Amino acid sequence: MLIDLHTHSSVSDGTESPADLLAAARAAGLDVVALTDHDTTGGWAEAERSRPAGLTVVPGMELSCRWFPSGAPPISVHLLAYLFDPDHPALAAERARLRTERLDRGERIVAALAAAGYPVVWEEIVERSGGGVVGRPHVARALVEAGVVESVDAAFSDLLHHRSPYYVAKADTDVLDGIALVRAAGGVPVFAHGLATRRGRVVGDEAIATMVAAGLLGLEVDHPDHTPEERAHLRGLAADLGLLVTGSSDYHGTNKTTPIAACTTDPAGWEAVQAAATGAAPYRD
Ligand SMILES: [Zn+2]
Ligand SMILES: [Zn+2]
């Protein structure tokens, strides 16, 4: 059994539609694949409709969260959520809040740039986005078109990075609240790429223990951004804390170089996810 429990479609920041993503999963020989777009269940219906025969599809999501250490700035963390009830009111409200937050954030970044004299206009950027959520990449492209910078990369490194005066942080979900929401909706919360130091600051073992007390059920251990040492440490921690273990590619289509199924989940981990879920059923034959 080949199982990959973390992928992104074009509904968030991947490059393939859910249907094309599932076709790629099947072509790669996967038996089980989870669709885990950021902060949205928007791809679930298409995934259910377009599922290739023989492939089990796990409806999921990757929730943008924050851990608040005492006496230090918050740390951005990602929480995978599987098989939760998409209509659970509190979790649906939190997804809506994150979407609004994201829209509002784009507008505030553009307002700050315009106030400093950069030739960017919010309404024009929204119009050109085609009705989707406007993020920093859209603002970056507007800056390129206005001739302010040479490239999208330059826009990020000069003006849109997180220490820039024009940067506006997102008010992501407190991870302890996120865990409780996912559990309340009958879902299975798994801490995504928890020790990936190459992605930035990471939380310590104590934070993970606190998350477990809040209802965390698993750790994503095998992930392309984890070193062998980080994987070994997380595997030991999962055993100590009685957590299920997953592995996954975090596939983004051509937005990242990692192929689908680059890392996978043991059948035991997938069994544990199914055993703990009460909010939704996988799509399967
Ligand atoms: Zn992530
Ligand atoms: Zn991801």
The pTM assigned to this predicted structure is: 0.84
Enumerate residues 6+ apart whose C-beta is below 8 A from 40.
11, 12, 61, 95, 99
Tokens in use for 84?
Answer: 């939760």
**Annotated domain spans of the chain:** 3-96+170-276, 100-160
Distance CA 188, CA 63 (A): 12
d(CA 170, CA 192): 19
The tens digit of pLDDT for each residue in 230-239 reads: 999 999 999 9
Counting ligands in written order, the one closest to the CA of 6 is: 2
Contact 189, 218 (CB under 8 A): yes
CA of 36 to the centre of ligand 2 (A): 7
Q: Which CATH class is domain 100-160?
A: mainly alpha
Cα-to-centroid distance, 8 and ligand 1 (Å): 10
Q: How far is CA 106 from CA 23, 95, 115, 169, 280, in A?
A: 33, 17, 14, 10, 33
pLDDT digits (tens, 9 = 90+) for 210-237: 999 999 999 999 999 999 999 999 999 9
How far, in Å, CA of 82 to CA of 273, rounded? 8
Q: What is the pLDDT of residue 254?
A: 83
Q: Which ligand is nearest to the CA of 256?
A: 2
Backbone φ and ψ for 207, nearest 5 degrees, come out as -65, -40
Ligand nearest to the CA of 5: 2
Percentage of the chain lying above the pLDDT 70 cut = 99
Ligand (nearest to CA of 252) = 2
> In the chain, pLDDT over 90 holds for what percent of residues?
78
For 17-57, how does the pLDDT look when each residue is reduced to its tens digit (9 = 90+)?
A: 999 999 999 999 999 999 999 999 999 999 999 999 999 99
Ordered per-residue pLDDT tens for the chain, 285 residues: 999 999 999 998 888 999 999 999 999 999 999 999 999 999 999 999 999 999 999 999 999 999 998 888 889 999 999 999 999 999 999 998 887 887 788 899 999 999 999 999 999 998 887 666 677 888 999 999 999 999 989 999 999 987 888 988 778 899 999 999 999 999 999 999 999 988 888 999 999 999 999 999 999 999 999 999 999 999 999 999 999 999 999 999 987 789 999 999 999 999 999 999 999 999 999
The answer to whether 266 and 247 have CB atoms below 8 angstroms apart is: yes
Distance (Å) from CA 226 to ligand 1 centroid: 12
For residue 211, with 0-12 CB atoms within 10 Å meaning exposed, 13-18 middle and 19 or more buried, which class applies?
buried
CATH class entry, domain 3-96+170-276: alpha beta
